[in-house]
Amino acid sequence: MTVACELAEWALGLGVEDVPEAVRHAAVRHVLDGLGCAVAAARRGAADPAVRTARELGGGRPEATIIGQPPSAARVTRAEAAFANGVLMHALDFDDTHAGGLVHASAPVVPVALAEAEALGRTGSDLLLAAVAGLETVCRLGAAAPHGFHARGLHATAACGVLAAALTASRLRGLTVAETVDALGIAGSQAGGLLEFLNTGASTKQLHPGFAARGGVLAASLASHGASGPGSVVEGEYGLYGALLGRRVPPAAVLDGLGERWELTRITVKPYPACQLMHAQLDAAREFHGKDVASITAEVHPDAASIVCGDGKERPRTSYDAKFSLPWSVAAMVVDGTVTAATYDEIDRPDVLALAARVGTEVVAFGGAAADQPGRLRAVTRDGKEIRAEVPRSGGGPDDPGIDALVWDKALANIGSPGSVDRILALPGLTTIQPLLKALEEQ
């Protein structure tokens, strides 16, 4: 049996009783966090090109809602709603990350679950179970080849997310196992996502989860109408890994412990709207706020170095570029004592640029994934003293005892209303998702 077939059988047969309470709780947490990120991005106009494009291309059939739009212009086809909301969810780079797979789990999955559930009149439980299947799948596909996609210049979120999106859509549409395997096979031919934006400061990365979400909806629709896809899309010679990574990955790397060991409970919620690969350093850098620091050296995982460090990173070209600059972001944390979405609105601040020029990096081999590295910084003060700051890993991770409080506070700041947050948290018991959509519309 192929990986696609195993995933399809598992996802389509998944019942509430098969999902432990802790897993359901985590899934609701990530739905809330993702929706909050989308609302915040909509309020700031961070994904306007994608929203305008979705309205232009998808206005003929009002099936599903684009988050943050006026009611008269919010509803488009489900494919375009999934696209726009996927971009919105990721636009501020504030959305969650699975460290082992280095994938943004919610952004390619939750928008599909939301769009399909609205278009088809599904319940909150239907939406949640589909999201559980999609979140678990994107994490497993990414973690089966740690840093493999990024090492080839590809965004794992886009490459793996489109298959997870197709699985999510297939479940909500009620496709058969055979049709779902076809949908996964079709989705695989859309897998991609280039990282060239790192060399220019362009914002194409924002679009990747939207492409994946839309591609998943498209794949499920094509399969439902009889289009076929290769069942060996994951492990085949020219499958997801064979074609994009140049090597095949054994099926067990994806499937081991499926339904028993839940990777979605290992997803990290971001405290900062910036690349996850420097969050631990940002946590540590907060300890230097208020100190008269002359220079800083940050230890960096080898897999992170090419993404958040390097020549020119101390002077980012765009606001989005700054979100992938460890020197600039660490400097901003030291100067301000916090890093928020507003931090990246002004990247030419003399005080931040001056300190960023004195932030050096040292590549150090850490055990484990780059997104789960410790944060270790040492600094020299202007009077010549050496000071150090260290955290074992970034905040917001699955072992963080304050993760629920972080998600609540973050969602409240992003969405703006405790009542709206509560309505989203009530998702599992909703007989229709209209109350959730109303909560988002009010913001």
Helix axis angle, 156-173 to 110-120, nearest 10°: 20
Environment class of 357 (CB within 10 Å of its CB; exposed 0-12, middle 13-18, buried 19+): middle
- What is the residue-averaged pLDDT of the chain? 96
What number is the average pLDDT over the span 178-192? 98
The 10s digit of each residue's pLDDT in 357-407 is 999 999 998 888 899 999 999 999 999 999 999 999 999 998 899 999 999
Share of the chain above pLDDT 90, in %: 94
State yes or no: pLDDT of 227 exceeds 90: yes
What is the distance between the alpha carbons of residues 425 and 419, in angstroms, rounded to a whole number? 10
Contact 205, 103 (CB under 8 A): no
CATH fold match for the domains 3-271+400-441 and 276-391: no
Closest listed residue to residue 324, CA positions, set 392, 272, 362: 272
Closest listed residue to residue 86, CA positions, set 155, 150, 24, 144: 155
Residue spans per domain, the chain:
3-271+400-441, 276-391
Q: Which fold has domain 276-391?
A: 60s Ribosomal Protein L30; Chain: A; (3.30.1330)
State yes or no: pLDDT of 443 exceeds 70: no
What is the distance between the alpha carbons of residues 101 and 155, in angstroms, rounded to a whole number? 11
What is the distance between the alpha carbons of residues 423 and 417, in angstroms, rounded to a whole number? 10
CA within 13 Å, CB half, 317: 9
The 10s digit of each residue's pLDDT in 39-84 is 999 999 999 999 999 999 988 889 999 999 988 789 999 999 999 9
Closest listed residue to residue 142, CA positions, set 102, 94, 182: 102
Environment class of 382 (CB within 10 Å of its CB; exposed 0-12, middle 13-18, buried 19+): exposed
β pairing state of 267-268 and 97-98: antiparallel
Tokens standing for 107?
């952004």
What is the residue type of 389? A
Architecture of domain 3-271+400-441: Orthogonal Bundle (1.10)
The 10s digit of each residue's pLDDT in 237-282 is 999 999 999 999 999 999 999 999 999 999 999 999 999 999 999 9
Name the pLDDT band for 220 (thresholds 50, 70, 90): very high
CA dist 115 → 24, 98, 159, 324, 363 (Å) = 20, 23, 21, 30, 43
